[in-house]
Homo-oligomer: A and B are copies of this chain.
Amino acid sequence: MPHLHLEYTANLTNLAVEKTLLRLNNVLMASGQFGSEFDIKSRAVKVETFLVGTSLSPRGFMAVRLSLLSGRSPQVKKQLSESLLAALQDLGDWPADIQVQLSVQVIDMDRESYSKVAIG
């Protein structure tokens, strides 16, 4: 906890994916919501097959899902979401001919049934 999933469409060819993950993790640490940087587990997945709407116009998206143990306030979740979105917007350098949508979703994970262990 937290878990972060970043999806990005394959037509965003200029995206520095590893740098993006580092920025997002830095945003999470800077929020002060998480005790240890070690707990932040983030991954990026390139989406090769996608369709935005019903038109064939060139479109793409980046979508973040942030999964948190339940219990944080609506205000905290909103702030985390907006901070992550701002970090995505700061990436800049979008392909000029593609309409890109950025989104961030925050998901509560049931705290009682969440299990974890660290090895080594």
Contact = CB atoms under 8 A, between A and B. Distances in A.
Contacts of A53: 25, 29, 36-40
Nearest to A40: B53
A6 to B, nearest CB: 9
Contacts of A71: none
Nearest to A22: B51
A84 B116 CA distance: 10
A89 B118 CA distance: 10
B119 A101 contact: yes
14 contacts: A7-B43, A17-B49, A21-B49, A29-B53, A36-B53, A77-B112, A85-B117, A94-B119, A100-B120, A104-B114, A104-B115, A106-B113, A106-B114, A107-B110
B113 A99 contact: no
Nearest to A103: B116
Contacts of A21: 49-51
A100 B53 CA distance: 27
Contacts of A32: none
B113 A110 contact: no
